[in-house]
């Protein structure tokens, strides 16, 4: 029975550590960009977009389709970087072992 108790304690410690990492990730940011930084999107480590900056010159040009494409590309870049950040942080916890749903 000692082995089971020890296993449960380790699982609880792991769960606490995961919660800590998730809280830390929510406070970290990454930046994605497109069009040579004409559009810049900032996202948190919890994949929430926190800001979108669009260079005034492309707004003045009035090409809505181009702006839409650049915003989508920059947002996708930011989310990809955010996911990479999450994977990097959790791989420290797991020693590089990929755990489905965690990394």
| Entry pTM | 0.79
21-56: per-residue pLDDT in tens? 999 999 999 999 999 999 999 999 999 999 999 999
Cα(12)–Cα(26) distance, integer angstroms: 21
Inter-residue contact 32 to 83 (CB < 8 Å)? no
Query: In the predicted model, is pLDDT for residue 14 greater than 90?
Result: no
Kindly list the structural domains of the chain, giving each domain's residue range(s) and its CATH number in brackets, ordered by start.
2-94 (3.30.1310.10)
What is the reported pLDDT for 23?
Answer: 92
Q: Name the residue with higher pLDDT: 24 or 4.
A: 24
Q: What's the CA gap between 77 and 38, in Å, rounded? A: 13
């Amino acid at each position: 029975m000692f082995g089971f108790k020890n296993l449960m304690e380790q699982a609880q410690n792991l769960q606490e550590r995961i919660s800590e990492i998730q809280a830390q990730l929510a406070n970290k940011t990454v930046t994605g960009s497109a069009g040579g930084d004409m559009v810049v999107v900032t996202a948190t480590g919890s994949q929430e977009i926190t800001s979108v900056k669009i260079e005034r010159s492309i707004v003045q040009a009035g090409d809505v389709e181009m702006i839409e494409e650049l915003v989508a590309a920059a947002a996708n870049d930011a989310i990809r970087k955010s996911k990479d950040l999450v994977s990097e942080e959790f791989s420290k916890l797991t020693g590089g072992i990929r755990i489905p749903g965690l990394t």
